[in-house]
Amino acid sequence: MPTKLDLADSAIIGFYHGKWDRSNIIALIDALGLQKSEWLSLKNNYPTINYLTSDEITEIDNYFNVTKKI
């Protein structure tokens, strides 16, 4: 379970990414240290997915070599 500091760390990474590299979703995935299993969980269980375009979701799927559409 992430701590409040873990969540703040992720939020700051997202803020920084948005300021300087907002058009590169893979750079954000790398900065967050997201793993394939975490991506699949996020994609299937969190409303956060609604903030991404279908192109961004496909780009992340391709990055993680996700072949099955979920």
Q: Which domain holds residue 22?
A: 4-63
DSSP states along the chain: ---HHHHHHHHHHHHHHHHH-TT-HHHHHHHHT--HHHHHHHHHH-GGGGGS-HHHHHHHHHHTT--S--
CA distance 2 to 22: 25
In a domain, 68, yes or no: no
Residue 52 lies in a domain: yes
Total number of domains in the chain: 1
Residue 21 lies in a domain: yes
- Domain annotation covers residue 70: no
Q: What is the pLDDT of residues 3-42, one digit of tens each?
A: 999 889 889 888 888 888 888 999 999 988 999 999 999 9
pTM assigned to the model: 0.78
Within a domain: 69:
no
In a domain? residue 26? yes
User: What is the torsional sign of CA 31, 36, 40, 41?
Assistant: negative
Domain assignment of residue 33, yes or no: yes
15 within some domain: yes
CB 49 within 8 A of CB 43: yes
